[in-house]
Structures are given as C-alpha cells and as structure tokens.
Amino acid sequence: MFDFLSVMLVGATIALAILAVEIKDILIAVYCLCGFFVLTGVFFWMLNAPYLAVFQLLIYAGAIIPLFIVVIMLTVKKTCRRRS
C-alpha cells in the first residue's frame, strides 16, 4: 500500500510540475505550482523529514504562492488588436 501511495504521489508531483510549466493561463499555472509545493511537502513528510516538510509548506506554499497571486492580480493585462 505504501509503495502504491508513493508512486501515485511522485506521479502527481511530476504531472503538476509539467502543468505549471506548460499551461498558458498564468493563474492556473500558479495553482499547479502550489499543488506541486504541497505534494513535495507531503513527500518530505513521508520520508521522515518533518522540519523540511513544514518549511516547504510554510515558505513556498504559504508565502511565495500568495505573493505570485497578488502580483498577477495587480498586473494590468494589455490586449493587442491587429490592424488589417
């Protein structure tokens, strides 16, 4: 059971990392990055590194991701019209 859970966790972590890079919508990409950070923290916890897991969750998922979201929300999106 633990092996299956570990394989699913690694697969989901890799999938979220790829989605964070490949998705065109930047806000959805940041949410995928947040999921990646959370799953990485869970993975550290399963490897008996609780301090590293808490650091991962507090700093990366708890501080960096909201900073990214605020910056994205405060940025003005400009649209370009094609001249024909």
pLDDT by residue for the chain (84 residues), tens only, comes to: 778 888 999 999 999 999 999 999 999 999 999 999 999 999 999 989 999 999 999 999 899 999 999 999 898 777 667 776
pLDDT value of position 80: 67
Residues 24, 66 contacting (CB under 8 angstroms): no
Angle at 21 between CA 2 and CA 32, to 5 degrees: 50
pLDDT value of position 1: 75
Taking the domains of the chain in order of start, what are their residue ranges? 2-74
Q: Measured in whole angstroms, how far is the alpha carbon of residue 9 from the centre of its chain?
A: 14
pLDDT value of position 53: 95
Q: Which fold has domain 2-74?
A: Four Helix Bundle (Hemerythrin (Met), subunit A) (1.20.120)
Question: Which letter, b or e, does each residue of 28-57 get, where b requires 16 or more Cβ atoms within 10 Å of its Cβ?
Answer: ebbbbbbbbbbbbbbbbeeeeeeeebeebb
pLDDT value of position 84: 61
